[in-house]
Amino acid sequence: MTDFAATRALFHLPDGVTYLDGNSLGAMPFAARERARTVIEDEWGELLIRGWNQAGWMVAPGRVGDRIARLIGAPAGSVTMGDTLSIKVYQALAAALSLRPDRRVVLSDSGNFPTDLYIAAGLLRSLGSDYRLKVVAPEEVAGAIDASVAAVLVTEVDYRTGRRHDMPALTARAHAKGALAIWDLAHSAGALPVDVAGGGADFAVGCTYKYLNGGPGAPAFIHVGDAHRDMALPALSGWMGHADPFAFAVDYEPGRGIERMRVGTPPVIALAVLDAALDAWNGVTVAEVHAASIRLSEAFIAGVEAECPALELASPRDPLARGSQVAFRHPAGYAVMQALIAGGVIGDFRAPDILRFGFAPLYNGMDDVDRAVAALTCILRDGSWDAPEFHARQAVT
Amino acid sequence: MTDFAATRALFHLPDGVTYLDGNSLGAMPFAARERARTVIEDEWGELLIRGWNQAGWMVAPGRVGDRIARLIGAPAGSVTMGDTLSIKVYQALAAALSLRPDRRVVLSDSGNFPTDLYIAAGLLRSLGSDYRLKVVAPEEVAGAIDASVAAVLVTEVDYRTGRRHDMPALTARAHAKGALAIWDLAHSAGALPVDVAGGGADFAVGCTYKYLNGGPGAPAFIHVGDAHRDMALPALSGWMGHADPFAFAVDYEPGRGIERMRVGTPPVIALAVLDAALDAWNGVTVAEVHAASIRLSEAFIAGVEAECPALELASPRDPLARGSQVAFRHPAGYAVMQALIAGGVIGDFRAPDILRFGFAPLYNGMDDVDRAVAALTCILRDGSWDAPEFHARQAVT
């Protein structure tokens, strides 16, 4: 069993806080703080414009992308960084549609994170009234893939319940029907073993501020499969994706492979912070982290179900059918979460009634599980959102 | 005459460096370095997910946008921040085309920064073969605006020569022909007095890492004119532009006014750094900075023309017809610039033969002009790119 004492020491967590919201914003690695200082003081401050070459700013999107690639089962040279997940969804979907010019349907599901649906709807509207976004229930996706579908756009792990799609099976089903598969790995990267290359994903996108701990608003990533990297004409054809950006040619010529998925000037400071945050993965595998996440989440579910009968499990019971978070329903979920947060146990709430707890074993341990169960028990048993015993218990732990 | 000693004290400049490349990447304000430390250590580290509300991360794009608005003559509530300039060009142009659905031509000029042309070409290609990007010479833009033109997309200041368009006149001409005007202010914001509202610009976009000193890859801005802010349906319809992002509705409903131009999760750390950098403008106006820039650039041109006859002025001679940079041509321009940089005078080179020197009076003074002229004189007079006398002179100044 992996000992995570070494990785826990890499992160700052505030005194008195039990942090179970790394599925929304990961904790701060000390290395990220230090790297921000050096990229600003030593690189920007001292090198100024020379930092683009001398400090490697220009190649940072691909270099950091290669580090992400190793965590999602993608080959080197297949991932680049920048922008936000919304923009990366747009890029992936636009590219997919250009590769299936005779098809007009994009298939997604109602458990997808809304921005994926919004971005898809906006893109399709601009392409013309014959394009259509079809949104079905998560369990109906496989059956809804037919010869009209250009691309299946789904998020592997449901942001509310943690329900996990079978990524290899859905990808294979899409390919069998001639459709492309675009995977949003927002709640997967750094949480679950993902094999985008082995599973044949055509495109994969994700954010880095959750389980990858890149900081608030950290840059997103995009992976393009081998078959498409030199094919798709980018919709967002910015100068950094040009074959020779500093030739300043009037006409756009797409760069080689994944380079063409770059758009504008890279977010140097944020990329440096993320780069340092990824050092936490140097001595640990995603599989080890996932195994630890299952131990924590199983203990949490057992504890909550034993002590808090008012909470109804909203996540799949099979740990392999969910991501690294556990969701419970409660009619007063919002108030319960506010009480938890006031008492130092930070999870989050998703309307209408979901309490969400993320487990990030790089810095979460069994003591976090115990404290969260104890806090929930107090709050629900005393029927009060301001249980003194709970605060007292928090104060001594 | 404004005394810039106070603003110069706000910036770090490396020892022995004469920095005349603020038109590419502005120098580091000490406040930016300090703010990076606090947003990471005190906000991300201590508040974690609570930073979105408690530290104002969620409203930062509009709050910082209002600070940019004051520098470009735009009203509060008309500017928001995020992404890159390339993305903002895409948003502005897509919105403009949706407001002129019966027109199919986008007009730009060959002096525009290439990413604007690339982004426009990519967008138009996706919209269909009847759309066309028409690129004319800068001086031919006004005459080329006709009833087929949906939008004029131009950069006020040419990135190579500094040649400046007459923004109010071109905007009026576009409106007279029923077209919309989109202004790229990359080389204007923080350098020249701009009056986007008074001039009637329909959209304005820009970056913040040049004269606004936001750091490498700092977030971009977009301004939308009063008439359009609640009208245009965003093409990049991300969740942060939704009317109620945390309702997590399946269908997109655009936010109020400029809010709909937000896309994904805001780049919190980079926005905080930029926010601090903007403090340099607290005691000085853009008009004062522009006046100082003219003094510096006029002295530079006079010095170079007196001492370096091999250099040919590539910028307009009238200071009101150019931006805050001066360009000279030389057949061996690349080598001359490398020699300058090796000797500590940093400008930049733009193919095929342009030496570019930017003047940022917040931190540049007449001593920078004198040193740059002296260095150029040595390099060109001695016919050597490694003139010992030049290095000796640099060492004692």
- Distance of alpha carbon A84 from alpha carbon A88, whole angstroms: 6
CATH classification of the domain holding A173: 3.40.640.10
A34 lies in some domain: no
A36 lies in some domain: no
Digit-coded pLDDT (tens) for B341-376: 999 999 999 989 999 999 999 999 999 999 999 999
Shared-domain flag, residues B71 and B178: yes
Beta bridge partners of A327: A356
A50 lies in some domain: no
- Asked whether the beta carbons of residue B216 and residue A265 sit closer than 8 angstroms, the reply is yes
For B2-27, b/e burial (b = at least 16 CB within 10 A) is: eebeebbebbbbeeebbbbbbbbbbb
- Distance of alpha carbon B240 from alpha carbon A387, whole angstroms: 35
Identify whether B352 is preceded by a cis peptide bond (ω within 30 of 0). Answer: yes
Last residue of a domain, one of B228, B259, B281: B281
Host domain of residue A369:
5-28+285-396
Q: How many CB pairs below 8 Å do chains A and B form together?
A: 263
Shared-domain flag, residues B252 and B333: no
Q: Show which of residues 202-241 on chain B sit within 8 Å of chain A, judged by CB atoms.
A: 207, 209, 215-217, 219-220, 233-240
A354 lies in some domain: yes
Shared-domain flag, residues B168 and B20: no
Shared-domain flag, residues B374 and B252: no
A51 lies in some domain: no
* Residue A219: strand, helix, or coil: coil
- Picking from B123, B209, B238, the nearest residue to A86 by CB comes out as B238
Shared-domain flag, residues B375 and B334: yes
For the record, the structure tokens of B101 come out as 């659905």
A45 lies in some domain: no
Residue of A nearest to B47 (CA): A14
Q: Is the separation of the CB atoms in A141 and A163 below 8 Å?
A: no
Domain tally, chain A: 2
Shared-domain flag, residues A270 and A179: yes
CATH classification of the domain holding A392: 3.90.1150.10
Q: How far is CA B268 from CA A206, A208, B95, in A?
A: 18, 13, 26
Q: Is A36 on the interface with B (CB under 8 A)?
A: yes
B142 lies in some domain: yes
Q: Is the separation of the CB atoms in B121 and A237 below 8 Å?
A: yes
Q: Is B350 on the interface with A (CB under 8 A)?
A: yes
Angle A333-342/A366-381 helices, nearest 10 degrees? 120
Shared-domain flag, residues B257 and B143: yes
Radius of gyration (C-alpha) of chain A in whole angstroms: 22
Last residue of a domain, one of B281, B315, B345: B281
The greatest distance separating any two alpha carbons of chain B, rounded to the nearest whole angstrom, comes to 70
Shared-domain flag, residues A291 and A277: no
A35, A67, A88, A356: which is the annotated catalytic residue?
A356
Last residue of a domain, one of B281, B299, B333: B281
* pLDDT tens per residue across all 397 residues of chain A: 677 999 999 999 999 999 999 999 999 999 999 999 999 999 999 999 999 999 999 999 999 999 999 999 999 999 999 999 999 999 999 999 999 999 999 999 999 999 999 999 999 999 999 999 999 999 999 999 999 999 999 999 999 999 999 999 999 999 999 999 999 999 999 999 999 999 999 999 999 999 999 999 999 999 999 999 999 889 999 999 999 999 999 999 999 999 999 999 999 999 999 999 999 999 999 999 999 999 999 999 999 999 999 999 999 999 999 999 999 999 999 999 999 999 999 999 998 999 999 999 999 999 999 999 999 999 998 765 444 444 444 444 4
B46 lies in some domain: no
Q: Is the separation of the CB atoms in A238 and A260 below 8 Å?
A: no
* Residue A390: strand, helix, or coil: helix
* Residue B79: strand, helix, or coil: strand
Model pTM? 0.96
Shared-domain flag, residues B193 and B113: yes
Q: Which of A269, A341, A353, A363 to mutate to test the interface with B (most CBs of B within 10 A)?
A: A269
If 0-12 CB within 10 Å is exposed, 13-18 middle and 19+ buried, where does residue A375 land? buried
